[in-house]
């Protein structure tokens, strides 16, 4: 019988979890940004292999904060850990372990037998993998450790091999050609958010959200989709729109170009910037966006 496992990817913000997920799946599953906490949902990526199938769940960066938005993200991480067979703990080798790393290790102490630790970014000139090893060894000696570079795809085969060694026997949950189970509307919204963050990251690091409104598919196969880009203040709206609509146009065009690579039908977007000062504190809004 083949092996099969659900694997939660956990780590500090900007540890490279989404880059790793995309590299393992061989396609863009999770959006990537230099802005911490870009990932806001449990994103699934699927790797099919002669040995079986691994279903990865990319979780938001584990961040110590009492704000409602961050607590919601942390709850999502906790829920993901309880729902999976294995845990892939990604540590950024370019940063010295701190309070968040201590908190994650404390969370995973009882999970060491089903945890694989990926010490990431070893290609970076500032990487200090031995410092990470010194931090991890006395705390989680049972956990398997592998040094990797998600960006350069270094040692990913060894990482998959280790995960399959720990994976239980089980059925293939998805067809082998599938690399994600995300709904198209969700994927489109995430690509829009990635481009919005890219073009406003200095001014609007966490104030942006994207909300789906409606979509229709024409007889010629073109999908027309309308999304709102939410900001928190009136002063932020012109930053996203840009002079004579230049920024919002660039966001739309770049998102449509990426979507052309992801779907076998054209996607045309209609984007509107909407001010919602309470979206990060509104439980109903957060429940629609974070799941």
Binding residues for GTP: 11-18, 58-62, 120-123
Q: What is the CA radius of gyration of the chain?
A: 20
* Residue 181: both structure tokens together: 């189970």
CA 80 to chain CA centroid, Å, is: 13
Residues making up the binding site = 11-18, 58-62, 120-123
CB atoms within 10 A of CB 34: 10
Residues 6+ apart with CB under 8 A from 135: 97, 101
Cα-based distances in Å from 288 to 40, 79, 283, 284: 11, 17, 9, 6
Order of strands across the sheet that contains 115-120: 43-49, 52-58, 3-10, 86-92, 115-120, 144-147
């Amino acid at each position: 019988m083949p092996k099969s496992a659900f694997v939660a990817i956990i780590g500090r913000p900007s540890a490279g979890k989404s880059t790793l997920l995309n590299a393992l799946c061989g396609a863009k599953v999770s959006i990537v940004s230099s802005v911490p906490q870009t990932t806001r949902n449990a994103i699934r990526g699927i790797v099919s292999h002669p040995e079986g199938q691994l279903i990865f769940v990319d979780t938001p960066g584990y961040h110590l904060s009492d704000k409602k938005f961050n607590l919601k993200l942390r709850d999502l991480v906790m829920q993901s850990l309880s729902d999976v067979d294995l845990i892939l703990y990604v540590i950024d080798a370019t940063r010295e372990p701190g309070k968040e790393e201590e908190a994650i290790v404390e969370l995973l102490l009882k999970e060491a037998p089903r945890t694989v630790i990926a010490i990431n970014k070893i290609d970076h000139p500032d990487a200090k993998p031995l410092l990470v090893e010194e931090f991890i060894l006395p705390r989680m000696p049972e956990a398997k450790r592998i040094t990797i570079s998600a960006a350069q795809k270094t040692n990913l085969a060894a990482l998959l091999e280790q995960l399959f060694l720990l994976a239980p026997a089980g059925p293939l949950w998805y067809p082998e050609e599938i690399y994600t189970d995300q709904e198209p509307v969700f994927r489109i919204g995430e690509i829009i958010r990635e481009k919005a963050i890219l073009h406003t990251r200095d001014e609007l690091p966490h104030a942006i959200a994207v909300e789906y409104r409606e979509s229709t598919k024409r007889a010629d196969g073109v999908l027309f989709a309308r999304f709102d880009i939410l900001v928190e203040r009136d002063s932020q709206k012109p930053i996203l729109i840009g002079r004579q609509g230049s920024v919002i146009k660039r966001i739309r065009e770049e998102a449509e170009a990426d979507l052309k690579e992801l779907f076998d039908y054209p996607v045309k977007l209609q984007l509107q910037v909407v001010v919602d000062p309470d979206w990060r504190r509104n439980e109903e809004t957060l429940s629609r966006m974070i799941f």
